[in-house]
Amino acid sequence: MTQPKLPPAPSDLAMVPFVSVENMMKIVNHIGPARMMAEIAEYIESDFKRWEEFDKTPRVAAHSTEGVIELMPTSDGETYGFKYVNGHPANMARGFQTVTAFGVLARVDNGYPILLSEMTILTALRTAATSAVAAKYLAPKGAKTMAMIGNGAQCEFQALAFREVLGIEGVRLYDLDPAATDKAAHNLQGSGLNIVKCTSPEDAVTSAEIITTCTADKQYATILTDNMVGAGQHINAIGGDCPGKTELHRDVLLRSDIFVEFPPQTRIEGEIQQLDPDHPVTELWRVIAGQQDGRTSDRQITLFDSVGFATEDFSALRYVYDQLQKTGHYIDLDMLADPDDPRDLFGMVRRANPKP
């Protein structure tokens, strides 16, 4: 697993590889969704181990009453990456996706982009891959059952990633909308997972070693109450991802050992926005790098308070870049002006005029 092999010279960079939604779906189906998420997880884990090489900043967010639009940038000194992403909970009722995204990788040495990609599908893949990486270090060993509360667009990705990376055998599904649960159960047919459709959150968490919460409403919500969480469980909280949006009762947080991606961002957007600013949390990268402990006992309640961070998108884009020549599922975009003389941009425009 290597960093992107960059094109050798600026003169070769006028054309930029573009992965459309159509081609992203071809890549996913060429590799297989579960395998692709497991491989993205390896890239994420590798990049977390070199966390200190990255520029890190909370995402740049433009909030409105309807939702949020965000930019998520980072760089490892050689390659720069960013993602544009929105989150609009009311979109589903209007026939739009709640989340859409695209991303870019670029060379640091000359600023030229080397990849433009859709990231609506890729974000779903990398979110599930990140959850699986965290659970690898935090979930009870030998966990076989996961509860999935919130059966929207992320549900099937999470289930397949946990099966592929952790060996989960069963998923207990619950959503306020039974049609969402039916959709997820239908899509997971033939996955090898034992699927149970539940009638309440309490029913869903019964006998589950891992609890994943993934709801879309932009509000302070209580998806998990304190009495629903037992000793030894791992909570994968991925639905709270902006100010004013949470899923867990505060008392659940106070009983848990909390692991986060980037504290300055998570304290604003994650479940821990409910806690005092100095409440102790552990950065996940430190666990992956062996600097701090993850799960230390069978009765410990671990909580991954995930809001998504730019390095994860960087890892996912890096993975896609490495698949381009292997799969051929991309097109070249003529998006960079490339005059023969870099000083003569106007001349290039003038020569393109078909009129004499």
Tokens 């957007």 appear where? 269
Rounded-to-integer distance, Cα 112 and Cα 105, Å: 9
Rounded-to-integer distance, Cα 134 and Cα 234, Å: 10
Please give the DSSP secondary-structure letter assigned to residue 4: -
Rounded-to-integer distance, Cα 296 and Cα 22, Å: 44
Instruction: Tell me if residue 106 falls in helix, strand or coil.
Output: strand
DSSP 144-198: -EEEEE--STTHHHHHHHHHHHH---EEEEE-SSHHHHHHHHHHTTTSS-EEEE-
Rounded-to-integer distance, Cα 150 and Cα 212, Å: 8
Burial class (CB in 10 A: 0-12, 13-18, 19+), 111: exposed
Tokens 């100095």 appear where? 278
Active site residues per annotation: 241
Rounded-to-integer distance, Cα 268 and Cα 244, Å: 9
* Beta-ladder partners of 86: 69
Calculate the alpha carbon distances from 79 to 55, 320, 326 in Å: 11, 14, 21
- Residue closest to 171 by CA, chosen among 114, 201, 113, 210: 210
- Is 336:112 a contact under the CB 8 Å cutoff? yes
